[in-house]
Structure formats: structure tokens, C-alpha cells
Amino acid sequence: MRILVAGATGVIGHPLVGALRARGHEVSALVRPESRERAPEADGVVVADALDREALLSAVSAARPEVVVHQMTALRLLDDDPVAAFTLTARLRTEGTANLVEAARAAGARRLVAQSIAFAAAPAGEPVLDEDAPLYVDAPDPGWAATVGAVAELERLVRDSGPLAGVVLRYGTLYGPGTLYARDGGAAQAVLAGQLPLPGDGAGITSFLHVEDAVGATVAAVESEATGVFHVTDDEPAPAAQWLPHYAQVLGGPSPRTVPAALAPRLLGWFVAHQMTAAHGAANDRARTALGWKPLRPSWRDGLGRE
């Protein structure tokens, strides 16, 4: 198939281009003008900023894709300019997605596969939630509420993208090369410096996902006829009280100290405190059944902190 990958220089997008080509697909990479020299090896390269509607329309139509894959975020800016990282990522999820849906339709594509997140659900109900659980659009933290609002809008745009067949892949917390949890990533550095304590009883649950499994699930979604919203997560949702000490040990860092849960938002920021004390996990049964996918790394224990 002819496939266009938007976000082709990214942690997921870059290896995804190679994985799709290895399956025999003809893959074009969409890259921003300033990132052209970092484009992956591909069958074609088209250049546009997704927030520039006219440029995106003409780039996508030049690639004539049958399937369009959306892997665009600005999270790479997190270390240097977190405000810009979240603001731009929200714009990519709203305006950027709307532009991409319009461009994919205009180019005659039949399918759109888009990246979302598996840790945006409101913390209520079962400890591990399916895709029907409500999103935390009314989170008490305005920043997280805005992020989840943009995620909800992305998912709405993709679900309502007819006649395009829309697929939303809600990836778990990514680990592996290039991610925050890589040995050279921000989370590892914080653990090694003893700056990531365990708040309270550490009962908040994280569903992890290795980057390789994000790529594998995306290939499966491109090749499938299934539509809808799918959690793409490993098989072992884990409370912080389990994964954080394990991660610290694998990294060779100090054992995380415990801090009172009430102090966590001030020490760690609202989102990290929420994730480690209250968040629920995400079940992957639907992706397994509908996409015929299963994780090659079923447990974060197999690799978190090793690379």
C-alpha cells in the first residue's frame, strides 16, 4: 500500500517508516521544512508543517496515500520548554489533526491511523480500564485538563473522519530508545539523582509500552480493516510501588525514598503525583482481538531501564 507517515522523524515515526517498508509498503515521510535533513530513508519525502493547512494539503496530495499515519507531537521540547511542548502538542492534536483529516480526504486516502495516549482516563471504576472509560477532561489541574481536552478532540476528529476509516491508537507510557524512560532520558536521570520519590503507597497504575511494540501495533492497525479506539499497552499494568523500585534497581540508582502523598503535587508536579498515586491502568484486550496484535514485550519487567 501507499502510506504517508506524518511525524516521520519521531521516536515512533522513524522506526515505523522502516517497519512498514520492510512489510513491502511504499512509504512517504512527511517532515517539517526545518527537519528535512533528519528524514528517514523512505520511498518519498514530502515537506510541510501540519499547522500550515495549505502546505499540508499540497504535501499530502503529492504523496497520494491510501493510508495516512499521524505520529505528530511536540513532546521533544519537554526538557527545554515544557510550556511550548504542551501548547504545540495540543495544537497538533486539534488544528494539526483537523488539517491532516482534510488533507487525507482531499488526497483520496481511505484510512487514517492516529496516535493518542492510554493514560488520559478519569481515575474511577476498575483499577484497569477499557476504552469506554471517560477521559479526564475535568481533571483538577488546568494543564492536564487542557491536554486531555486536546486528546479528546483528536479522537473525535479521527472517529468522525468518514469516509476515511479512522483508528485511534492510545499508546501506553513509552519506554525504550529515545523515550523519557531510556537510560539517557529524563525519568532515568531523575531516578539516578534520587529525585523521583514514591508518593504515599504508590498505588497509581501505569501501563507501559516498549517503542518496538508501538511500532508493531501501528503496522497491524495500518494493515487491518478495524476501526475505533484501541489501548496499545503491555500485559502488566503496574502500580508505582512495583515499577519504580524495580526501575531504580535496574538503572543502578538509589532506592526511591517515600514521601507523603499530600506533598507529592508540590514535589513532583500534579501529573506525576496523579500518575503515581491515583491513575488507573489500560487493558489491551480490544487491540489483541480486533487488530490481531500482541506485545512482543508483555511486561515492562523485561526491559524498563535496560536500554
Ligand X SMILES: NC(=O)c1ccc[n+]([C@@H]2O[C@H](COP(=O)([O-])OP(=O)(O)OC[C@H]3O[C@@H](n4cnc5c(N)ncnc54)[C@H](OP(=O)(O)O)[C@@H]3O)[C@@H](O)[C@H]2O)c1
Binding positions for ligand X, rule: CB under 6 A: 7-13, 31-32, 35, 38, 49-51, 71-76, 78-79, 92, 115, 174, 178-180, 185-186
Closer Cβ to ligand X, 32 or 261, answer by number = 32
> What residue has cell string 535496560?
306
Closer Cβ to ligand X, 136 or 171, answer by number = 171
Closest residue by Cα to residue 229 from 165, 149, 162, 296: 165
Smallest separation (angstroms) from ligand X to the CB of 49: 4
User: Which H/E stretch holds residue 151?
Assistant: helix 142-159
Closer Cβ to ligand X, 75 or 250, answer by number = 75
Smallest separation (angstroms) from ligand X to the CB of 35: 3
Smallest separation (angstroms) from ligand X to the CB of 34: 6
Strand partners, 135: 121
Closer Cβ to ligand X, 7 or 305, answer by number = 7
Q: Distance between CA 46 and CA 40 in Å, rounded?
A: 12
Smallest separation (angstroms) from ligand X to the CB of 69: 11
Nearest residue to ligand X, scored by beta-carbon proximity: 10
> What residue has cell string 526501575?
247
3-state class of 67 per DSSP?
Answer: strand
Residue 17: half-sphere exposure toward Cβ, Cα within 13 Å: 24
* Strand 26-31 relative to strand 205-206, pairing: unpaired
Smallest separation (angstroms) from ligand X to the CB of 258: 25
